[in-house]
Amino acid sequence: MIGAGPANLALAVAIEESGALQVAENALMLEQYPDIKWQRDLLLPWARSQVSFLKDLVTLRNPRSRFSFLNYLHQQGQLDDFVNLSTFNPYRWQLSAYQQWVAESLEHVRIRFNARTERIDPRYAEDGSINGWTVTLSDGDTIGCRDLVVGTGRDVHIPEVFRDVPADRVVHSTRYASRVTRLAPTERPLRPVVIGGAQSAAEMFMALHQDIPDCEPTMIMRSVGLKNYQTSKFVNELFYPSFVDEFYNMPPETRMQVLDEMHLTNYAGLAPPFLDEIYSMLYQQKMLGRQRSTVRHMTEVVGARMDHDEVVLDLRDRKTGKIEPLRCDVVFLGTGYAPRMPAMVADLAKRVGIADINVSRRYRVDLGDSAWGAIYLQGVNEQTHGIADSLISVLAHRSQEITEDLLDRRAVAEAAVEV
């Protein structure tokens, strides 16, 4: 398993709880960092999960599991305090700590930290079929396996317009804390700009007020204004694990229509309470006459360049078409992730000779009937499995389905050997 994020942690637990001891003891998770952290560089003290704690790694699959979030709180002596908080939405740092606890609580599945995957190559049998994989790590070490699960998420999206701006002046949200909190006071940007109108952009915008108290941040977005996530309980039913079956069996054109209609349930929006906090902060600045923050709606960046030690953004006002420059020190990107398959997966598909990556209902890539080795994809199957695929809402059930597929394939293989 590549990546020790929520998806593969949930799968590790499902494998351990399946009773297939041999499979569990032969399972290995590779994590590039020295520990487990969820949304590592946006673990802001006040940031909350937008998803109920009941949608943890296990509860919707096995409410009695010892790996549940509630059991974690109980083990840490924090259950009474959390219950008294009266919320379904824990702080993000608490869910991150929960996932680290789960990793430490595994008894059979192993995790190898500081293990960054650089390359995956197929292994072939004498008849030309795929019988496994060789994973090459950044330190040159190689690991062989029969089945591979990629749970690294999508690649970050850096808009092309920022191509010629030095990397230390363009910071994606996945690098926010690493960039900001380690700066010396004399290096702190006083004119930061945040690009984007969704949750990650808004969180960086708010965090800059605390992390760089004397800065004057600007937030730029193409939309008409910051928006709420759609939180209707009727729409939220489309995040049920049971909806994955319905979505998977829809015609492709219907899937696209559903994804388009559900866009604001997960993208280009903010959690309503957080949206109120931002508006209140801007209101106070305006009324008290100390306005240090700027939010520019209906504005797009059409150019970006360096001028001596300044970043110059060419901003186009969508209302008038007028273009004007904005000088700043650094740009923070809340631009999300590329919708295409991750580069690692696309590269592997090319090595295997697959033009189109097709994934089964149980998340296995179609490699042909003769393939002995398998590859499973987690969190990148939105086009076939629905908008919840990249979220934690379906983790528990998805891990069960992948585990069942793994075990079913082994049962078939064992039966073939006996014959």
For residue 32, the model assigns a pLDDT of 95
| Residue 399: HSE in the Cβ half-sphere, 13 Å Cα cutoff | 28
* Strands of 141-251, DSSP E: 142-145, 147-150, 170-172, 192-195, 218-220
- CATH architecture classification, 160-229+266-333: 3-Layer(bba) Sandwich (3.50)
**pLDDT class of 184 with cuts at 50, 70, 90:** low
Residue with tokens 């590269």: 347
- Domain map of the chain by residue range? 6-155+338-418, 160-229+266-333
**pLDDT class of 1 with cuts at 50, 70, 90:** very high
For residue 58, the model assigns a pLDDT of 97
What are the contacts of 199-202 at 24+ separation with CB within 8 A?
Answer: 199/50, 199/269, 199/270, 199/271, 199/274, 199/334, 200/42, 200/173, 200/334, 200/336, 201/173, 201/332, 201/333, 201/334, 201/335, 202/226, 202/270, 202/274, 202/275, 202/278, 202/334
Share of the chain above pLDDT 70, in %: 98
Q: Which residues of 237-263 are buried (b: 16+ CB within 10 A; e: fewer)?
A: ebbbbebbeebeeeeeeebeebbeebe
For residue 272, the model assigns a pLDDT of 85
Tell me how far apart the alpha carbons of residues 180 and 188 are, in angstroms, rounded to a whole number. Answer: 8
Share of the chain above pLDDT 90, in %: 76
Runs of H (alpha helix) within 154-271: 176-180, 199-211, 233-236, 243-248, 252-261
Tell me how far apart the alpha carbons of residues 42 and 304 are, in angstroms, rounded to a whole number. Answer: 25
For residue 418, the model assigns a pLDDT of 57
Residue 134: strand pairing partners? 121, 144
Tell me the pTM: 0.93
For residue 16, the model assigns a pLDDT of 96
Question: φ and ψ at 115, to 5 degrees?
Answer: -125, 90
199-211 helix and 272-288 helix, angle to the nearest 10 degrees: 40
Tell me how far apart the alpha carbons of residues 284 and 2 are, in angstroms, rounded to a whole number. Answer: 46
Q: Residues 27-81: pLDDT tens digits? A: 999 999 999 999 999 999 999 998 899 999 999 999 999 999 999 999 999 999 9
Closest alpha carbon to 114 in 142, 136, 137: 137
What fold does the segment set 6-155+338-418 form as a domain?
FAD/NAD(P)-binding domain (3.50.50)
Lookup: tokens for 329? 């020190």
Q: Which residues of 339-372 are buried (b: 16+ CB within 10 A; e: fewer)?
A: eebbebbeebbeebebeebebeebbbbebeeebb
- Report the mean per-residue pLDDT for the chain: 92
Is 160-229+266-333 the same fold as 6-155+338-418?
A: yes
User: Average pLDDT of 362-372?
Assistant: 86
Q: Residues 136-148: pLDDT tens digits? A: 999 999 999 999 9
Do 17 and 66 meet the contact criterion of CB atoms below 8 Å apart?
no
Lookup: tokens for 276? 């109120």
**pLDDT class of 289 with cuts at 50, 70, 90:** confident
CB atoms within 10 A of CB 122: 19
